[in-house]
Amino acid sequence: MPTFLTKEGFEKIKNEIHHLKTTGRAEAGAALAEAREKGDLSENAEYDAAKEEQAKLEKRIAMLEMALTDVRILEDREIDASKVSILTTVQLKNLKTGKEFTYKIVSEIEADFKASKLSVSSPIGKGLLGHKKGEKVAIQTPAGTMDYHILDISK
């Protein structure tokens, strides 16, 4: 199944891969070299931590590169805003608290809760898919059932 991205999301991921491969790898290598200089590696916690950070870096690079192997870049004109779908922006009202939220539904790789970007595979993202403006939706989440009213959907 392809990873659906905006052109901006695609460019952001390409830039992150480039940064990790250049700056990230250089920093990880320097941290390893510095830790190696501190003596006995069998009892060197700094060396172990540096190796662990390097492994995380390489895992992140591999994951991002894998995500870009099957990418489909969606243009605004391809997005159907008559219902909640990937790359739509959804304005919701939590029926229990009365609070309103706006989320963009994105692929897993672009998800960033702090930036109000929900993964299409998250419980709320999945629960909203296919629903239309004006509908009330009950979504099962790890924190319990969440009741939302879909106020608006846009591109």
pLDDT digits (tens, 9 = 90+) for 33-83: 888 887 766 677 888 888 999 999 999 999 999 989 989 998 878 888 999
What confidence tier does 3 reach under pLDDT thresholds 50, 70, 90?
A: confident
DSSP H or E run through 31: helix 25-36
Same domain, 37 and 15: yes
pLDDT at residue number 57:
96
- Domain containing residue 48: 3-73
pLDDT of residue 41: 64
Identify the domain boundary among 17, 45, 73.
73
What does pTM read for this prediction? 0.74
- What's the mean pLDDT when you consider all of the chain? 91
Query: How sure is the predictor about 123, in pLDDT bands with cuts at 50, 70 and 90?
Result: very high
Strands 136-141 and 117-119: unpaired
Give the pLDDT confidence score for residue 1 in this predicted structure.
73
Give me the sign of the Cα torsion angle 119, 120, 121, 122.
positive
29 and 87 share a domain? no
Same structural domain for residues 15 and 85? Answer: no
Q: Number of folded domains in the chain?
A: 2
Amino acid, res. 41 = L
Which of the listed residues 28, 46, 73 is the one where a domain comes to its end?
73
